[in-house]
A and B are shown apart, each in its own frame.
Chain A
Amino acid sequence: QKEVEQNSGPLSVPEGAIASLNCTYSDRGSQSFFWYRQYSGKSPELIMFIYSNGDKEDGRFTAQLNKASQYVSLLIRDSQPSDSATYLCAVTSNYQLIWGAGTKLIIKP
Chain B
Amino acid sequence: DVKVTQSSRYLVKRTGEKVFLECVQDMDHENMFWYRQDPGLGLRLIYFSYDVKMKEKGDIPEGYSVSREKKERFSLILESASTNQTSMYLCASSQGLAGTNEQFFGPGTRLTVL
| Interface residue ranges, A against B (CB under 8 Å) | 4, 8, 31-32, 34, 42-46, 49, 88, 90, 92-97, 99-102
Contact = CB atoms under 8 A, between A and B. Distances in A.
A34 B43 CA distance: 14
Given A43-B108, A96-B45, A101 B98 contact: no
A95 B100 contact: yes
A96 B48 contact: yes
Q: Looking at chain B, what size class is its interface with the partner chain?
A: 20 to 34
Contacts, number: 47
A49 B102 contact: yes
A92 B97 CA distance: 11
B42 A99 contact: yes
Contacts of B103: 46, 97
Main secondary structure of the interface of B (DSSP, over half): loop
Q: 7 nearest interchain CB pairs?
A: A101-B42, A43-B105, A99-B43, A95-B99, A99-B42, A96-B99, A46-B102
Contact of B98 (A8, A95, A100, A102): A95
Interface of B: 35, 40-45, 48, 58, 90, 97-100, 102-103, 105-108
A43 B90 contact: yes
B99 A97 contact: yes
